[in-house]
Structure 1
Amino acid sequence: MNKQDFKFFIGIDLSKRFFDVAIIDNDRTTSYVFENTRKGANAFIRLLKNQKIPLSNTLICMEHTGVYGKILITKLVEKQASFCVEMPIQITKSIGVVRGKSDRVDAKRIAIYASKNHKELELYRPMPEILEKVKILLKIRRKLVNTRADVNKYPNELELFSPELGKLAKRNLKKINKNLNDEINRIEAEIKKLVLSDDKLNKTVGLVTSVTGIGQITALHFTIFTNFFTRYDNPKQLACYSGVVPFEYTSGESIHRKSRVHPMANRTLKKHLHMSALAAINHDPDIRTYFLRKVEEGKNKMLIVNNVRNKLVHRICAVVKRQKPYVKTIS
């Protein structure tokens, strides 16, 4: 972010139907409410113009609320406004102990958060349309895969204790399973078509999947969550975001707990990295040798798997930075 001195700080609390706005001008704070529609977004921009609040020296901050922020974010990008979209827990933790809650108060707290931390905040960078499309399809695919798993969970358990009843359940779910499999295959074909239609995305996915153990779906998730690997300066930051970096937990002489990964991480990336690590252990000679050596040394297997996940993140970042596919070492 440019370390410019913003004169105005605006906090926005978004909900499905409305968004509350708090504007800090020196020590004065004013509050407004708009409909969360295109009409409301236009009214917000008009208000700033009428109040003589130029977007050029105004920082707008809002919480990440998924689809609820789409309309307003699109308008702010169109107007080339300086704004940031922060995770709610980041704002909540920075505020400290609070009493009471309302949308109006939350908007004011977000504005105060922006005014205090503006030099460290990262300005919003819009995601390319191709990534937005792939992101939607991946989300649909994930829901279909989860539905398929839920549908098959009961008959699989039933078959363990009553084979005949289990077969009956599976027979009646056969058509549903076929439809789910067909839809998943169709979505994956649509994703593949989108990847091939964009040179940059196709090249990035090709580089990432050159790392043994990383499949196309995992590569796409990394590309989307990092916005073409532009959100993180080094592999350690990305590894931390992916939930594979253990943190020390000690205090004085009385508290000495094992180092653990923090629960506040991207769980989707962590899950995909876990499956990739298991694949790498089976198919990458170097990683398999490393895994077996550590097992012989008596290391905890989950700790070793986590180390492999960390290695994969570093390899992914290396191939993207060098723009060259990963090459296995021949021993």
Structure 2
Amino acid sequence: MNHLLRKNYLGIDVSKLWFDVSLLPIIDHVKQPIITERFDNTTSGMTAFKAWLKSTGVTLDQHSLLVIENTGVYHRLLWGFCSKYNLPLYIGNAAHIKWSLGITRGKSDVIDSVRLCQYCYKQSDELKATPALNPVFMKLKDLMTSRSRLVTQLHSTKNYIKELQCSNDKVLQAILEKAHQAAIEGIKKSIIQIEVLIEQIIKDDTAIYKNYLLIKSVPGIGHLTALYIICCTNNFASKVTGKQLASYAGVVPFEHSSGTSIKGRNRVHKMANKDLKKMLHLCALTAIKYYPEFRQYFDRKKAEGKNGMLVLNAIRNKIILRAVAVVNKRQPYVNNLNMAA
């Protein structure tokens, strides 16, 4: 009996309560009708999903590929399922997938899953499976997110108290400050507790700790930026390049011209991780202030008539490229300027 050549392309639209699956089987290079189904986004739903995959002939190996959009939290059960059973999974950026589909009409959970399924089929040669879910890494990422939110709340409360000084009398101001003081102290305490847990996780995980130390060796990069880069890259499990990470951070300038009518200067793309970009901006300012290599570069470019923000962006780009380089080479950063001196 001849074995049929079969490929399975799946697209899943994930929501908080359920997920919709669309399956496109390709048998002997011939497309079969797309099959759709809905499952609860729960542990029992994953069990039913596994049984459905078996009943539809989907193999949990390299002959299958599943595509989902990054939803932050809601797709984690699916990610864990695929990691456990070695089902190749690609977690894509929602905006990138949407733009690649071109003009579309109509929207529902089922329609979105069908579109993801079609995207999976068309882009399968270029899609690289996302690394398996690392529970330790996800714990670190959740702690970093929680810390960031608490810091935002702390700044918001402090700013609110300062703004009231312009309109309140001293007695009322004292009452409000006292009322908010417990909240402020509570947030500070929570931030400290989270930072202790983060530090413990880093030290307990050898792979994360080594990359953390390597990234911190780059001039300008501090504790939080090193951790954030690790979270953004899944601890470099996906082998991200320096150019890819710089583009993700929004510090890579792209050409902006067309024929003779549009001749704009090179510009960075507005679609970027703005938190990482802000961190890199502070890293660049620190590098200019404390490291002669970057100070001299900044002064030289300014003397050539370059715009200050353009030079700062170039330094942000240099910093992120070097962060990836030290991780890939497994060697800490070496300041060639100091060696020459």
* Residue type at the aligned position of 1:251: S
* Residue type at the aligned position of 1:155: I
Match of 2:68 among 59, 62, 68: 62
CA displacement 1:14-58 (0-9 Å, x = unmatched): 111111111112231121111111111111111121222222322
Structure 1 position 69, deviation (Å): 1.0
Structure 2 gaps of 5+ residues are 26-30
* 1:312 matches 2:305: no
The answer on whether the counterparts of 1:243 and 1:261 sit within 8 Å (CA) in structure 2 is yes
CA distance in 2, matches of 1:233, 1:184: 30
Residue of structure 2 in register with 1:280 after alignment:
287
Identical pairs, percent: 36
- Cα 1:197/1:249, change in 2 over 3 Å: same
CA distance in 2, matches of 1:198, 1:60: 29
Residue of structure 2 in register with 1:184 after alignment:
191
Structure 1 position 165, deviation (Å): 7.5
CA distance in 2, matches of 1:241, 1:152: 32
Q: Report the secondary structure of 2:266's partner residue.
A: strand
* 1:211 matches 2:218: yes
Structure 1 position 230, deviation (Å): 3.6
CA distance in 2, matches of 1:166, 1:246: 51
The answer on whether the counterparts of 1:38 and 1:72 sit within 8 Å (CA) in structure 2 is no
Structure 1 position 249, deviation (Å): 0.8
Match of 1:104 among 88, 101, 110: 110
> How many pairs align?
327
Match of 1:195 among 195, 202, 208: 202
* 1:12 matches 2:12: yes
- Cα 1:166/1:238, change in 2 over 3 Å: farther
Give the alignment's Cα RMSD to 1 decimal: 2.0
CA distance in 1, matches of 2:147, 2:8: 42
Residue of structure 1 in register with 2:23 after alignment:
23
Residue of structure 2 in register with 1:40 after alignment:
45
- Cα 1:103/1:125, change in 2 over 3 Å: same
* 1:258 matches 2:268: no
Structure 1 gaps of 5+ residues are none
CA distance in 1, matches of 2:57, 2:188: 56
My pick for the range that moved more, 290-299 or 309-318, is: 290-299
Structure 1 position 114, deviation (Å): 0.5
CA distance in 1, matches of 2:133, 2:42: 21
When normalised by structure 2's length, the TM-score is 0.89
CA distance in 1, matches of 2:299, 2:166: 34
* Residue type at the aligned position of 2:262: I
CA distance in 1, matches of 2:107, 2:183: 45
Residue of structure 1 in register with 2:28 after alignment:
none
